[in-house]
Amino acid sequence: MFKTFIVSLFVGLALSTPFVPTVHAQSGWIHEGPAQTALLEMADAFKRNDRRRLTTLLPQVRGHLLEPWAAYWELRARLDDASTSEVRQFLSRYAGTYQEDRLRNDWLMLLGSRRDWATFETEQVHYRMRDDRELRCYELVLNHQKNPAGFGPDSVKEVLSLWRSMLQADDGCTLAAERLLEDRKIKPLEVWRKARLAVENNRPVTARNAVQLVAPKLLNTLKDLQAQPAKFLNQHNAHPRNAVQELVVLALVKLASSDPDEAYKQMQRTWSIHLTTEERHWVWGAIGRQLAMRLDGDALKAYEQARSDHDLTDDMLAWKVRAALRAGATPAWKAVESAIMAMDVAQRQEPVWVYWLGRALQARGHKDQAQTLWEGIASAKGFYEQLALEELGRSIQMPARPLPPTAEEMAQARANPSLQRAVKAIGMGLRSEGVREWNYATNLVNAQGQSGRMTDRELLAAAHWACELDIWDRCINTSERTSMAQMDPVLRFPMPFQAAVVQRAHEINLDPAFVYGLIRQESRFIMDARSHVGASGLMQVMPATARWTAKRIGMKNFSVEQLNQRDTNIAIGTAYLKLVLESMDNSMAMAAAAYNAGPSRPRRWRAPDQGRGPVLETAIWAENIPFNETRDYVKKVLSNTTNYAALISGQPQSLKARLGKVGPRDATAPPEDTDLP
């Protein structure tokens, strides 16, 4: 007990003095050495949750620019046991920093889970980031606490939207939904819909939390049906009317996620007539979604059984659009239009659906409406924005660079404390912390430290500074946050290592714009980037792929450790990309998909029906890629490539010319390189 008292007293004294970093006039940073070593040790101790080590090391970083991170790690590790006075001392000492707001976020979450609404109300007004959905649910519960009359219509809508969007189990939004249910602001059906979403996405705890609200006695049965949905349905086939209908729906949804063909049969054979219209539509939507993700030609048939698109979720509707686009030589444009129009307004306004709705309207004779839609998104910004430009008869070219930041604007960026800490953290190898702080300073809090993003000119200056420091990922991401009026193409699409990339691309007859487009998406030009699956370097090459490629191109004495060397990584990555491109009939879209997901998958996706399938516009083929990550990746690589080509050549470009069509492989084509890893 005496030891605990001493530690608390020591930390309390350390936090009682306002934070003022020690700065060198020449370098702008504190003396390195022991303090920096202690900081790195603390970062490691935080990952290991070594509370004692964190407390021991904290005094050694006093006055360092990154002291707020050290203090945050130390207090966050023991926040569950910290006193209110300790927390408030921290918030006062580090007022105005990212770490203050980050710890307040963490503390508010803890206060919400403890139902300490008095302290929560006092603190939440000072919270600046405002980006935590669960905290927003807690705030809505607090509003309800203060107003026993209940939630208003807007709050009800917001709670439902937040709750549905969170697939992981969460206390805040579940609590808010429970209050809605108690106040009879929502019907039990809304809770069962949440359970369906959770079951469909294999989130058993989230499903359990939802069912707990409306039918706690069914929790054991819920657990069994999630493990073996077919067994549950078969057990009730003989007496379907005696089954708990909501559980039948959950079992059918779960079965659809693993075996949509069997779910299809179960619906036709037994269950369809026993469900309500809404339940029937939902199940058919779940079956259709899964068949569409499998690129099954029967997907639209399943969707046709759901006679109202308005009973389907936005995700079901998105996959209905994709299935309708690949319905044959001519897409099922009427189905495309009806599905998009049934989407939530926010989703319907995304460029992907604006573009395809325009195509559907144009195909159905409404050219003026289509052009109005395309005018709303047309730009060089992204894949569908570029396609919209071309539908309007315009080429893709880079805008003129805006006026560069003034000396005053650059000075303001360099003086921003959060940006300074971000730069320092990245330079020390604490990239995750640096990126989080940079994003906070540019996107969540303005240059005056208030909630809200920076202005375009402030973002432009920050992006310039990041580029000057070769922090390419922050340069790109910050530039992407500016409006098109302040878009600087050189910052948004930088070309570091240009001599090495262009020379290597020309040596192997590979488009350097394609190489740059891929690197920008793979690593954001971070030399030591490493993915969660082990890919390394600028071009994110897997070790096994690197060894295979090195052998294939005759590179001698290659070792995996060389992948973080710039020239070696470029040599290996471009060689593999060239081999993949040739294997995929020189389709950039298929090559990008192969680079991201492996060569075997795009081969299956081009002809999913035992080597057969329709010949599709490449945009349709890319939009139907079943993996969310790969689908997004392919579109971004192709959009990047088009913009880099415009920068490199100085000439207007066409994305459509790069796309072409994708279909079953021509029988007369040379054999595929099946050895490609």
> Tokens in use for 285?
């939507």
CA 403 to chain centre: 32
Cβ-based neighbour number of residue 183 at 10 Å: 14
> Mean pLDDT, to the nearest integer, of 297-325?
96
> Mean pLDDT, to the nearest integer, of 105-127?
97
φ/ψ region of 509 (left if φ > 0, alpha if ψ in -120 to 50, else beta) reads left
Does the pLDDT at position 22 exceed 50? no
Does the pLDDT at position 531 exceed 90? no
How high is the pLDDT of residue 9? Answer: 40
Residues 451 and 585 in one domain: no
Residues 611 and 534 in one domain: yes
> Mean pLDDT, to the nearest integer, of 55-77?
97
Cβ-based neighbour number of residue 338 at 10 Å: 18
State the pairing for strand pair 616-617/661-662.
antiparallel
Task: Give the model confidence (pLDDT) of 423-449 as tens digits.
Answer: 999 999 999 999 999 999 999 888 778
Residues 610 and 521 in one domain: yes
Domain assignment present for residue 38? The answer is no
Residues 590 and 529 in one domain: yes
> Mean pLDDT, to the nearest integer, of 548-558?
94
Q: Which of 473, 492, 511 is the last residue of a domain?
A: 492
Domain assignment present for residue 621? The answer is yes
Domain assignment present for residue 528? The answer is yes
> Mean pLDDT, to the nearest integer, of 567-596?
97
Domain assignment present for residue 585? The answer is yes
Name the H helices within 405-510: 407-415, 417-427, 431-439, 456-468, 472-480, 489-492, 498-507
DSSP state of 58: G
61 within 8 A of 39, measured Cβ to Cβ: yes
How high is the pLDDT of residue 21? Answer: 58
Domain assignment present for residue 650? The answer is yes
**CATH number (domain holding residue 628):** 1.10.530.10
Alpha-carbon gap, residue 303 to 287, rounded angstroms: 8
Q: Which of 492, 516, 545 is the last residue of a domain?
A: 492
Task: Give the model confidence (pLDDT) of 251-287 as tens digits.
Answer: 999 999 999 999 999 999 999 999 999 999 999 999 9
208, 214, 220, 223 alpha-carbon torsion, rounded to 10°: -30
Residues 633 and 604 in one domain: yes
Determine what percent of the chain falls in helix, strand and coil, rounding each to the nearest 5: 65, 0, 30
- Name all contacts of 19-22 with Cβ < 8 Å and 24+ positions apart: 19/67, 19/68, 19/93, 19/94, 19/97, 20/63, 21/63, 21/64, 21/65, 21/67, 22/63, 22/64
> Mean pLDDT, to the nearest integer, of 172-177?
96
297 within 8 A of 609, measured Cβ to Cβ: yes
Measure CA of the first residue to CA of the last residue in the chain; give whole Å: 60
Cβ-based neighbour number of residue 551 at 10 Å: 11
- CA angle, 351 then 353 then 358, to 5°: 95
Domain assignment present for residue 37? The answer is no
Residues 520 and 617 in one domain: yes
- CA angle, 37 then 40 then 42, to 5°: 110
476 within 8 A of 159, measured Cβ to Cβ: no
Give the pTM. Answer: 0.93
Domain assignment present for residue 543? The answer is yes
> Tokens in use for 398?
């880079």
Lowest mean pLDDT among 3-12, 233-242, 525-534, 581-590: 3-12
> Tokens in use for 156?
């009800």
Number of domains in the chain: 2
Q: 451: which strand partners?
A: 445
Lowest mean pLDDT among 132-141, 185-194, 235-244, 259-268: 235-244
Task: Give the model confidence (pLDDT) of 464-521 as tens digits.
Answer: 999 999 999 999 999 999 998 999 999 999 999 999 999 999 999 999 999 999 999 9
Helix (H, G, I), strand (E, B) or coil at 633: helix
- % pLDDT > 70, the chain: 95
Residues 627 and 557 in one domain: yes
Half-sphere exposure of 188 (CA within 13 A, CB side): 7
How high is the pLDDT of residue 23? Answer: 42
> Mean pLDDT, to the nearest integer, of 312-339?
96
171 within 8 A of 112, measured Cβ to Cβ: yes
Residues 544 and 467 in one domain: no
> Tokens in use for 139?
């705030």
Name the H helices within 294-366: 299-305, 314-325, 333-342, 345-348, 351-363
Helix (H) or strand (E) holding 195: helix 188-200
> Tokens in use for 574?
């471009």
How high is the pLDDT of residue 11? Answer: 47
Q: Which residues fall within 8 angstroms of residue 34, CB to CB, at 6 or more apart?
A: 60
Alpha-carbon gap, residue 474 to 435, rounded angstroms: 7
Alpha-carbon gap, residue 314 to 628, rounded angstroms: 15
Residues 518 and 617 in one domain: yes
Q: Which of 436, 467, 492 is the last residue of a domain?
A: 492
> Where in the sequence is the domain holding 431, given as residue range(s)?
407-492
Helix (H, G, I), strand (E, B) or coil at 536: strand
Domain assignment present for residue 339? The answer is no
Residues 513 and 657 in one domain: yes
Does the pLDDT at position 105 exceed 90? yes
Residues 463 and 521 in one domain: no
Residues 510 and 625 in one domain: yes
